[in-house]
Structure 1
Amino acid sequence: MIESNCRERYIVDKQKCKIFKNLKISNYIFLILIFLYVCFLIVPVIGLIKYSGITKLLETIRNVDNIYCLKLSMKTSSISVLLTFVFGTPTAFYLAKVSKNKITKIVDILVELPIVLPPAVVGIGLLLAFGDNGFIGKIFSNLGYSITFTPIAVIISQLFVSSSLYIKFLKNSIEDVPKEIFEVSYVLGASKIKTNIKIIIPMLKKTIISALILCWVRALGEFGATLMFAGNVMNKTRTIPLQIYTYMQTDIRMATAFAGILYVLSFAMILIIRILLRDKD
């Protein structure tokens, strides 16, 4: 009997050792994969800074044309993020809370399209719609206004390609909110709009800000649609990505330096806002 118990205990201990050993190996593999992926993300910015050099980075920051491109990018991307919040928030609530009828499904597909469409295709579509000869742009053209080759075209391009990220992110978060919260609010006499504005939006404040940050970074780096629709006009529509594209044809070191600045700027903005959100919480 004692010998049998000892044998069983030996077998159990051996199985436990195998399990722990397998878990240990799995953990090592897991950490190695994470390390390799993080290195993969860091290598490009190291390459940019190393190739351009600190001197070129400082020269890039002091360049008057680059300063204008930076200001234009910040201004247009901020406006596009504001418009995304205004138009995207009700759209996200509509997709999350309205029953899945045919109209809702079509709207959901339309929202996802900018995520998968190539930016150049988006730019051509915007040009044919809002250009001077487009079916919408012609209306403004007859009134003496032109949308193409203006900062407005930059904002439209950024809004089109970046707003989908915000809507999908917020929609998923709204769907995760317990239905009981909505029901209690309705029972207490609050309307759907009042419930969304006074209860759900404050509850999802951190999610909304995080989604807007992603949207802002995406708008800041928008290139293809802007180039096709707004053009590459200095002191008018040339954003940071377009300035980098222009430098690639004349001064590669300046292009890499400006690209490094955009990389660091995006990282710094995300980091600062994350810290502020954490401190506020």
Structure 2
Amino acid sequence: MVIDDYKEIYILGKQKSKTFKNKKILDYIFFILIVIYVCFLIVPVIGLIKYSGIEKLIETVSNVENIYCLKLSMTTSLISVLLTFLFGTPTAFYLSKISKNKIPKIVDILVELPIVLPPAVVGIGLLLAFGDNGFIGKIFSDLGYSITFTPIAVIISQVFVSSSLYIKVLKNSIQDIPQEIFEVTYVLGASKINTIIKVIIPMLKKTIISALILSWVRALGEFGATLMFAGNVLNKTRTIPLQIYTYMQTDIRMATAFAGILYILSFVMILAIRSLLKEK
């Protein structure tokens, strides 16, 4: 009996040791995979800074044309984020309560299309719709206004390609909220709009801000649709990505320096906003 007990203890100890070793191996594999992925994300920006050099980065920031591109990109992307919040928030709430009705499902598909469509396709579509001869742009053209090759065209392009990300993230968060919270507010006499504005939106404040940051970064880096619809007009519609594209044809070092600045700017802005949220 004693021998059998020792045998059992020995077998259990061996199994535990084997399990521990397996877990340790898995931990090492996971750690290695994470390190490889993080290095994969860092390597491009190191390459940009190394190739361009610190002096070129300083020269890029002090360039008058680049300063205008930076201002235009920041202004248009912030306006596009504001419009995304205004139009995207009610849309996300509408889509989060999808019924068996086909209309919301079609709207949901339309919202997700900009994520999968090539930017050039989006640009052509916007040009044919809002261009001077487009079925919407012609109305403005007859009134003496042109949308194409203006900052307004830049904003439209940015909103079109970036708003889907905001709506998708917010919609998923709304669906995670227990239905009982909505029902309690209705019982207490609040309308659906009051519930959304006074209860649900404050609950999802961090999610909304995070989704807006994601949308803002996407708008800031928008290239294809802007090029097709707004054009690459100096001191008018040339954003940072378009300026980088222009430099690639004439001065590769300047292009890499400006690309590095865009990378660093995006990182700093996201870090600053997330730090602010954490403090609050």
Q: Does the TM-score normalized on the shorter chain lie above 0.5? A: yes
Aligned to 1:185: 185
1:58 counterpart letter in structure 2: I
1:154 aligns with 2:154: yes
Query: Which amino acid in 1 is paired with 2:43?
Result: V
Structure 2: how far apart are the matches of 1:11 and 1:85?
61
Instruction: List aligned pairs for 1:83-162, cutoff 5 A.
Output: 83-162=83-162
Shift in Å, 1:209: 0.2
Q: Could you tell me which residue of structure 2 aligns to residue 244 of structure 1?
A: 244
The amino acid of 1:48's aligned partner reads L
Equivalent position amino acid for 1:149 in 2:
F
Output the CA distance in 2 between the equivalents of 1:144 and 1:91.
32
1:33 aligns with 2:33: yes
Report if the CA contact (8 A) 2:98-2:105 is conserved: no
Percent identity among equivalent residues?
Answer: 84
- Between the aligned partners of 1:22 and 1:101, the Cα distance in structure 2 is 50
Q: Within 2, Cα distance between the matches of 1:65 and 1:277? A: 34
The C-alpha deviation readout for 1:132-171, integer Å capped at 9, x for no partner, is 0101001110010000000000000000000000000000
After TM superposition, where is structure 1 displaced by more than 6 Å over at least 4 residues in a row? Answer: none
1:21 maps to what in 2? 21
1:213 aligns with 2:186: no
1:201 Cα deviation after fit: 0.1
Query: CA 1:239 to 1:276, structure 2 compared with 1: closer, same or farther past 3 Å?
Result: same
Which residue identity is paired with 2:258?
Answer: F
CA distance in 1, matches of 2:108, 2:98: 11
Query: Which digits, 9 at most, give the CA deviation of each residue in 1:75-94, with x for residues without a partner?
Result: 00000000000000000000
Q: What residue is the counterpart of 2:167 in the other structure?
A: 167
Contact 2:95 2:171 survives alignment (8 Å): yes
Letter in 2 for 1:202: P
Q: Once the two structures are superposed, what CA deviation does each residue of 1:24-65 show, in whole Å capped at 9, x if it has no partner?
A: 000000000000000000000000000000000000000000
The Cα shift of 1:101 comes to: 1.6
The size of the alignment, in residue pairs, is 280
Q: What per-residue deviation string (whole Å, max 9, x for no partner) do you get for residues 191-236 of structure 1?
A: 0110000000000000000000000000000000000000000010
Structure 2 distance, partners of 1:100, 1:214, is 30
Shift of 1:97: 2.0
RMSD of aligned Cα (Å) = 0.5
| 1:258 lines up with 2:254 in the alignment | no
My pick for the range that moved more, 30-39 or 5-14, is 5-14
